[in-house]
């Protein structure tokens, strides 16, 4: 899916206009005003329609997900349409909050009829070359024996990532408004922030200390909360809910 065209059954970061920009109706395209009084050609934000639903949906999801101790909404004022959530980017990774993160995301999607994008980031060649990913290898990835660096190491990260995405998808059960995306990048935070404009909401796990999950849920969470262009939900698990990536 990869984006906020999910209300049309798909969409995303790969959908672009003639100049490679997202097909969002911007760039001087005439857009009818809600009151029918004219068109907006000055690049102004469209008027908000209806009652805000993001905060109530997050509160409802936190209460409904028994695995979550807390779900905090950050940057609510970044929402272009507070009355609509059509697509949610779900950061999937190892760590004790990962299962609860998926559970809360599903509850939000159930409350808003949104699509979910299960999103996992693995180290790019550049990250592997400068060693920035080596210290952040997760327990799931340590289960794979790595005998050489380079392509072998990259493949090991990708294999572990696919297992995590499989585990996240299995956790959703019969929920079918979902896609998955494995991305290579120098940092998880950078990838999530870069894709955030194409979604209505981002859901991430709470910060995790130590080596387990640090590449996805360490300082990444703080960076995403600070820099994402849409609201961010930070999920803290009630106990460990680490995804089974076997």
User: Is residue 207 situated within a structural domain?
Assistant: yes
Separation of alpha carbons 233 and 215, rounded Å: 18
Separation of alpha carbons 150 and 200, rounded Å: 36
User: Is residue 230 situated within a structural domain?
Assistant: yes
User: Is residue 93 situated within a structural domain?
Assistant: yes
User: Is residue 92 situated within a structural domain?
Assistant: yes
How many domains does the structure of the chain reveal?
Answer: 1
Mind listing the pLDDT tens digit for each residue in 20-68?
344 333 444 443 434 444 444 455 555 456 899 999 999 999 999 999 9
Q: Is the pLDDT of residue 80 over 50?
A: yes
Separation of alpha carbons 153 and 128, rounded Å: 8
Phi, psi of 17 (to 5 degrees): -85, -165
User: Is residue 12 situated within a structural domain?
Assistant: no
Tell me the CATH number at 137.
3.40.50.620
Domain residues for the domain of 195 are: 53-237
User: Is residue 8 situated within a structural domain?
Assistant: no
User: Is residue 179 situated within a structural domain?
Assistant: yes
Residue 151's pLDDT band (cuts 50, 70, 90): low
User: Is residue 159 situated within a structural domain?
Assistant: yes
The H or E element that residue 128 is part of is: helix 125-129
């Amino acid at each position: 899916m990869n984006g906020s065209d999910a209300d049309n059954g798909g969409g995303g970061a790969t959908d672009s206009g003639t100049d490679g920009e997202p097909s969002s109706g911007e760039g001087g395209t005439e857009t009818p005003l809600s009151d029918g009084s004219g068109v907006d050609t000055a690049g102004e934000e469209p008027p908000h329609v209806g009652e805000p639903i993001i905060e109530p949906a997050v509160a409802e999801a936190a209460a409904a997900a028994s695995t979550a101790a807390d779900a905090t909404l950050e940057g609510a004022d970044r929402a272009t349409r507070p009355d609509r959530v059509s697509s949610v980017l779900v950061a999937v990774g190892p760590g004790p909050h990962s299962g609860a993160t998926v559970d809360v995301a599903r509850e939000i999607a159930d409350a808003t009829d949104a699509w979910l994008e299960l999103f996992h980031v693995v180290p790019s060649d550049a990250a592997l070359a400068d060693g920035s990913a080596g210290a952040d290898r997760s327990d799931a990835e340590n289960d794979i024996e790595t005998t050489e660096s380079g392509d072998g190491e990259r493949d090991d990260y990708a294999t572990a990532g696919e297992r995590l995405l499989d585990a996240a998808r299995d956790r959703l059960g019969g929920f079918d408004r979902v896609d998955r995306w494995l991305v290579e990048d120098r940092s998880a935070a950078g990838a999530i922030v870069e894709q955030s404009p194409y979604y209505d909401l981002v859901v991430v796990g709470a910060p995790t200390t130590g080596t387990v999950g640090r590449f996805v849920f360490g300082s990444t969470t703080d960076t995403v909360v600070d820099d994402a262009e849409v609201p961010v939900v930070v999920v803290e698990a009630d106990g460990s809910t680490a995804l089974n990536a076997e």
